[in-house]
Every structure is written in structure tokens, then in C-alpha cells.
Amino acid sequence: MKKSILVLSLALIAAGVFAQDIALSKPPAKIGVDILDAIRSRAAARAFVKRDVSVADLSAIVWAGNGLKGAPDAVSAASKAAGTIPVSGDVNYVNIYILTAKGVYRYDPVGNLLKQVGKKDARGDITTENIANAAFMVLFTYDGAKLPSFVKGNPAGARDMGMGTASYAAQNVGLVAASLKLGSIIMYNIKPDVAASAAGLTKDEVPLFIMQVGYVQ
Ligand SMILES: Cc1cc2nc3c(=O)[nH]c(=O)nc-3n(C[C@H](O)[C@H](O)[C@H](O)COP(=O)(O)O)c2cc1C
């Protein structure tokens, strides 16, 4: 009996079932802020007031950053990826991770959840510019194995493509955060090896940059 409980526990741990995943809510249909007002209100913030982010706000932000809209583009048929950001080819090679005081989470757009991949607050390890009261940090990566074949064997071109695409994600995150009255700041000052280890990246996945996001009032 004890042996079977042990075997079951090990199997569940191996499957990641004990991880504290965060189930996300559906993104809001509207946010109530004009796009031009959102662009005007976006500004870098370097200090935040301490406040946990709600699941609703987090859901809207990660969806804008790298979510799925539903049906593929039926008008031009150009996009089969149906993502909130454009990608080259039909396979999305950009990933975003959310880091909080409770751990590190990989955003799974299909499952609409944040899958816990680490239990440590790794934010202060990843950058020397960690802002104490930020509600969360976003880590942007690209997966070199998923890039279109025409940049394979061209590391500089691959990084350009990853960086360019992740920047769309960052812009969406910043604008939706601003619309929800959260400030944000983009930072390239990261320790890539530490970020890769904290997020459990595969050998093909490259950490690019971070955004720190939090409440400014
Ligand atoms: C590509 C890029 C990388 C950046 N990296 C850092 C960084 O590592 N550390 C930092 O303090 N600011 C960094 N910044 C600057 C801030 O994100 C912010 O843009 C700047 O303070 C200007 O504020 P604004 O966005 O409100 O105009 C970076 C900005 C860009 C565009």
C-alpha cells in the first residue's frame, strides 16, 4: 500500500501535478481605454507601490503579450497562428514567463494558464536592477528550434528575429498594463544564464529581456 502511494506521488511529481499553476481568466472583451490614450499613458516606472496583481489583470496582460485570438485571420489568410502578436511563419517561437515572489511561471496560451516552472523568487538573481515592489516581472524568450528555416544557421539573424518579435509582445504588455493603470519598465540588463536556469529553458531557448510591472498608485 505504502509503496503504491510512493509510486503514485513520484508519478504526480514527475507530471508536475503538484506545481502551483495559475489558471487564467478569459481576457476582457474591452478594456475601456482608447488606443491613443494607452500610448500616451505608457511611461517607464522605476518605483511601485506594493500590491499583488489580480488574476484578471495578469490574464489580460499575458494574453495581449502572447495570447491567442481564436480563429485564424479569415480575411487575408496570411496568419494561421491567430496570435495577438505577429510571428514569422505559422509557428510562434516567442515565450513569456511571469516571475513573482511565489516563483516562475511559463505562460501557456493554449491552456490559458501559467505553468509553474520554479518555486523561488528569482527576480533579484536575474537582474541587478530588480525593483522591490514590482508586482511581477516578465521574461521574454525565443525558441531557436521553432524559427523559420531561412534563419537557421544564422545566429545573428535568428536573434534579430527573436528580438524583433518579442518587442511586439513587450509593446502589447506595456500598453495593456498602462490601460489597467500599471506601470512598467523594459530592461535588457539581465544575466542570461541565470534567467535560463530560473525558467528551466531548453538549450534552444534564448532569454532576451525583461519587463518589470507594478502599481504606481
Ligand atoms: C531596448 C531597451 C533596453 C533598456 N534597458 C534598460 C535597462 O537595462 N535598465 C534600465 O534602467 N533602463 C533600460 N531601458 C530604459 C527604460 O526602459 C525606459 O525606456 C527609459 O527609462 C525611458 O522611459 P520612457 O519609456 O518613459 O520614455 C531600456 C530601454 C530600451 C528601449
pLDDT of residue 152: 86
Closest-CA residue to 66 (of 130, 150, 141): 141
Hey, whose CA ends up nearest to atom 4 of ligand 1?
187
Ligand 1: residue of 131, 186, 191 to mutate (most ligand atoms within 8 A of CB) is: 186
* Residue 49 near residue 57 (C-beta atoms within 8 A): no
| pLDDT above 60 for 194 | yes
Question: Which atom in ligand 1 lies closest to the alpha carbon of residue 45?
Answer: 26
| pLDDT above 60 for 175 | yes
Q: Rounded to an integer, what is the distance from CA 82 to the centroid of its chain?
A: 17
User: What amino acid occupies position 151?
Assistant: V
pLDDT of residue 139: 98
pLDDT of residue 6: 52
pLDDT of residue 7: 53
Question: Which atom in ligand 1 lies closest to the alpha carbon of residue 44?
Answer: 26
pLDDT of residue 1: 45
Mean pLDDT to the nearest integer, 181-193: 97
Mean pLDDT to the nearest integer, 41-54: 94
Closest-CA residue to 135 (of 63, 54, 16): 54
Tens-digit pLDDT profile for residues 7-36: 545 554 554 545 799 999 999 999 999 999
Place of cell 518587442: 167
Is 39's C-beta closer than 6 angstroms to any atom of ligand 1?
no
- Cα 213 to Cα 22: distance, rounded to the nearest angstrom: 18
Q: Rounded to an integer, what is the distance from CA 96 to the centroid of its chain?
A: 2
Tens-digit pLDDT profile for residues 147-157: 999 998 999 99
* Residue 67 near residue 109 (C-beta atoms within 8 A): yes
- Cα 83 to Cα 66: distance, rounded to the nearest angstrom: 7
pLDDT of residue 74: 58
- Cα 111 to Cα 125: distance, rounded to the nearest angstrom: 29
Per-domain boundaries in the chain: 20-215
Of 75 and 160, which is predicted with more confidence?
160
| pLDDT above 60 for 209 | yes
Closest-CA residue to 114 (of 14, 209, 25): 25
Hey, whose CA ends up nearest to atom 25 of ligand 1?
44
Closest-CA residue to 58 (of 97, 92, 19, 94): 97
Mean pLDDT to the nearest integer, 132-159: 96
Write the burial class of residue 165 (CB in 10 Å: 0-12 exposed, 13-18 middle, 19+ buried): buried
Which triple of cell numbers denotes residue 173?
A: 504588455
Hey, whose CA ends up nearest to atom 23 of ligand 1?
44
Is 31 strand, coil or helix? coil
- Cα 216 to Cα 199: distance, rounded to the nearest angstrom: 27
- Cα 185 to Cα 183: distance, rounded to the nearest angstrom: 7
This prediction's pTM: 0.90
Q: Which CATH superfamily is domain 20-215 in?
A: NADH Oxidase (3.40.109.10)
For residue 149, what is the DSSP state? G
Number of helical H runs and strand E runs in the chain? 6, 7
Percent of the chain at pLDDT exceeding 70: 87
State the distance from the centre of ligand 1 to the C-alpha of 61, rounded, in angstroms. Answer: 19
pLDDT of residue 16: 52
* Residue 181 near residue 217 (C-beta atoms within 8 A): yes
Tens-digit pLDDT profile for residues 83-101: 999 999 889 999 999 999 9
